[in-house]
Amino acid sequence: MTENSSELAPVGKVGSWLSANNWEYEVLPPDHLGIELIKVSPDLLLPIAQALYEQGFNYLQCQGAYDLGAGKELVSFYHLVKLTEEDSAREEVRIKVFLPRENPVVPSVYWIWRAADWQERESYDMYGIIYSGHPNLKRILMPEDWVGWPLRKDYISPDFYELQDAY
């Protein structure tokens, strides 16, 4: 954890556990629902994700990405849930990984949560984030020969795209 991060946002249950186990991370302000947000570096995503899985975060509710703006970083995020038989024991945490635009590479969490399969493929297709270790990382929404990453904020849409074999 960084020294000044606790001044910006309160450390939640997951952050406290990570600190107690000497994991490096940064606390971010909770989201609009009050769910704990944690920023991790790309090289620590996989070990922290595996540790959280072993702590009971057995459900990847959502994986996605977004662009902070032209020339800024891309973000890959993960919403993890600890599902139990008792609703009162349910816990949630969101992990964010900030990536450079020039070479946005982060390890795939597919091998921990299989639900990441198509979600990581969509983030790759729309933002160009490379999920290393993904078993089938290829375009899922755009044609395979599409050039560029359509949801990046600096993306320039082509004047036209020829549809081949449309009929």
Rounded average pLDDT over 43-54: 97
User: At which residue do the structure tokens 């994991």 appear?
Assistant: 23
What tens digit of pLDDT does each residue of 1-26 get?
544 444 556 788 999 999 999 999 99
Element (H, E) at 6: helix 5-8
Contact predicate 48/18, CB 8 Å: yes
Model confidence at 164: pLDDT above 60? no
Model confidence at 125: pLDDT above 70? yes
The DSSP output letter for 162 is P
What tens digit of pLDDT does each residue of 71-107 get?
999 999 999 999 888 777 789 999 999 999 999 999 9
Q: Global pTM?
A: 0.88
Residue 36 lies in a domain: yes
Residue 55 lies in a domain: yes
Residue 140 lies in a domain: no
Q: Which domain holds residue 103?
A: 5-132
Residue 142 lies in a domain: no
User: At which residue do the structure tokens 């849930």 appear?
Assistant: 81
Q: Which CATH number goes with the domain that contains 74? A: 3.30.460.80
Residue 155 lies in a domain: no
User: At which residue do the structure tokens 């795939």 appear?
Assistant: 108
pLDDT at 156: 86
pLDDT at 120: 98
Contact predicate 37/12, CB 8 Å: no
What tokens does 45 get? 């995503």
Nearest one of 127, 128, 83, 129 to 109, comparing CA atoms:
129
Residue 147 lies in a domain: no
Q: Which residues are within 8 A (CB) of 123 and not within 5 positions of it... i.e. 6 or more apart? A: 63, 64, 65, 76, 129, 131
- How far apart CA 108 and CA 117 sit, in angstroms, is 9
pLDDT at 165: 54
What tokens does 122 get? 């969509």
- How far apart CA 25 and CA 50 sit, in angstroms, is 15
Residue 9 lies in a domain: yes
- How far apart CA 132 and CA 108 sit, in angstroms, is 6
Residue 159 lies in a domain: no
pLDDT at 8: 57
- How far apart CA 131 and CA 43 sit, in angstroms, is 12
Number of structural domains found in the chain? 1
pLDDT at 5: 47
